[in-house]
A = this chain, B = another copy of it.
Amino acid sequence: MPRIAYFGPQGTFTEQAARRLAPGHELTPAETISAALAAVRKGEADAACVPVENSVEGAVAATLDGLAEEDPLVAVAEELLPVHFTVLVREENAPVRTVASHPHALAQVRHWIERNLPGAQTVAASSTAAAAVAVQRGEYDAAVTAPVAVEHYPLPVLATGVADVPDARTRFLLVQPPGPLPAPTGADRTSIVAAAENRTGALAELLTELAFRGINLTRLDARPIKGNFGLYRFFIDFEGHLTEPRIGDAVAALRRRCNNVRFLGSHPRADGVAPTIAPSAANEDFTGAADWVAAVRRGETA
């Protein structure tokens, strides 16, 4: 049975995503995102589940950096989870004076706490699950956690579905070493990372290779390259699957312009959105044009 490492501890949103991405598989929590990826690189796990993007907080830096560096890992699936928190308390019907959670989680429920637990002091914990553990130990009165936490930490539930931004979502990836690509579904996402040359227009050229082929970006993140202030890697997600002629053509052009392009995966989109295809930019247009050139080269037509 494949073993899945996930960014733990138990009882976090990432565990919830891992259960949905790899149902019935053996799930092992890792202490950090970097440890989850290392477990796959060392062969201790077959795949890793890590968060990649949150609609409020933005990109998850540790995941992007972890995929760009060291041995290649490729995303084969993604999951989109609504960020709705559950508030667990030490004691039912007792006053709540302290609320613990990860600082990112506290930032996403600040208004809810002001309205529902006025005067409560917020305390930073290393994860939503660590906050639940601290409440169990009697250190704080309440913890803001992932819904799955209640299965590991049997504390009274004060509230569920808690979120200041009601449609906040986090996207998770299941990554593994390079191997056969997942089959294209017609609603796929492809991801690459490239360290563009530090010269005028380098990034504009990469994006224009995609735009001129009618390929729609779904995300672009710039991350500083450690120890090189002012030098960046660009993480580019776009519609389509590498097996499609139009996408293969574009990715080859990116690689030609930038030989440190790394492929980060082609997999179905969790939201099922199909690509928009511009005129003259369909796969048949690409194969039709390539067939015509081949026929001209063979002297069959002109």
Contacts and interface: CB of A to CB of B under 8 A. Distances in A.
Interface of A: 53-59, 61, 102-103, 122-126, 165-167, 169, 199-201, 203-205, 207-208, 210-212, 214-224, 226-230, 232, 234, 271, 276, 278
Given A200-B214, A232-B219, A226 B56 contact: yes
Contacts of A169: 229
Contact of A125 (B124, B200, B208, B221): B124
Contact of A211 (B124, B205, B230): B205
B217 A203 contact: yes
A59 B205 CA distance: 23
Majority SS at the chain A contact face: mixed
Contact of A165 (B103, B122, B221, B227): B227
A300 to B, nearest CB: 34
Contacts of A54: 224
Contacts of A166: 227
Given A55-B226, A200-B215, A200-B216, 10 more contacts: A56-B226, A102-B103, A102-B124, A103-B103, A165-B226, A200-B214, A203-B217, A203-B220, A207-B207, A230-B271
A220 B204 contact: no
B124 A200 contact: no
Nearest to A103: B103
A126 B221 CA distance: 26
A194 to B, nearest CB: 13
A204 B211 contact: yes
27 contacts: A54-B224, A55-B224, A55-B228, A58-B224, A103-B124, A103-B126, A122-B126, A124-B126, A200-B210, A200-B211, A200-B214, A200-B215, A200-B217, A200-B278, A201-B207, A201-B208, A201-B210, A201-B211, A203-B207, A203-B217, A203-B220, A205-B211, A220-B234, A221-B221, A221-B222, A222-B222, A230-B271
Nearest to A281: B200
Contacts of A232: 219-220
Contacts of A55: 224, 226-229
Contacts of A56: 224, 226
Contacts of A210: 200-201, 204
Contacts of A234: 220
